Amino acid sequence: EEFCYRLILDESYSFGSLGETGRGALEYYNLEHMRHAEIVTFSLENSMGSIGGITVGNEEVVDHQRLSGAGYCFSASLPPFLAHAAKASLSKMEAEPSLLETLRDNVEYCYSQMHEQMSSIIPEKVLITSQVGISPIIYLQLTKNDDMILSRDEQVDLLDRVATYCLENGLFVISTGNHVYDHLHKIPPPSIRITIMAKHSKAEIDTAIKVLENAMSTIL
């Protein structure tokens, strides 16, 4: 507001998970579209379970997106059934607000159980770097140890082995290692990424944490 610049906000991971009605980070922090963020964009590949994306803005922005987008210029628009799938997901989210409540409950439960069941590992061996109790995408990074300084490749190797151990024991987590080099300008530290969903039961979360604890206790 002070310098009159346009703020572009990517809500790809917050839409459908944050805010009272799932509208994302702006709603969560009680901010307004078109006032605190002039351009908001989000992917349909996450909470909507489709492909493509949406950009929300003023008339000037919408006209630019519509006339310059691949769907208009090259007839590469979203297939009708995938557009309908995204619409159905949005309708379900609006009709069943309990899904968001369940997701928030699962997120809080997972964080609390990780601290409780992995107390010998967190924070001595790994740190939770996502926003505790809020983010449904959980990142775990290796704790820096002055007595044993690891290179990036060594960290990636350890976390890859953790991910492989988890997969072999029925838990799918992602090791964000060297493969991100080709996709990001600023490369984050290697980490383990876990995603919590509304469909998860408490028993499944407990099992996942137990497998993760065993993996890290064995490998780290």
List, for residues 85-136, the tens digit of each pLDDT value. Answer: 999 999 999 999 999 999 999 999 999 999 999 999 999 999 999 999 999 9
Sign of CA dihedral 134, 136, 141, 143: positive
| C-alpha–C-alpha distance, residues 9 and 41, integer Å | 6
* Contact partners, residue 188, CB within 8 Å, separation at least 6: 176, 180
Query: Is the pTM here over 0.75, yes or no?
Result: yes
Query: Within 13 A of 185's CA, how many CA atoms are on the CB side?
Result: 0
| C-alpha–C-alpha distance, residues 6 and 133, integer Å | 30
Q: What's the N-to-C CA distance of the chain in angstroms? A: 47
Contact 134, 108 (CB under 8 A): no
Instruction: Report the percent of the chain where pLDDT is more than 90.
Output: 67
> H/E element holding 195?
strand 191-195
Rounded to an integer, the average pLDDT of 48-75 is: 81
- Whether the pLDDT of residue 77 is over 90: the answer is no
- Whether the pLDDT of residue 4 is over 90: the answer is no
Per-residue confidence (pLDDT) for residue 3, from 0 to 100: 83
Strands 53-56 and 8-10 turn out to be unpaired
Written as one string, the DSSP assignment of 94-161 is HH-THHHHHHHHHHHHHHHHHHHHTTTTTTTTEEE-S-TTT-SEEEEEEPP-TTSPPPHHHHHHHHHH
Per-residue confidence (pLDDT) for residue 115, from 0 to 100: 94
Contact 99, 92 (CB under 8 A): yes
pLDDT tens digits, one per residue of 152-168? 899 999 999 999 999 99
Residue 190 — very low, low, confident or very high, per pLDDT cuts 50/70/90?
Answer: very high
Contact 78, 119 (CB under 8 A): no
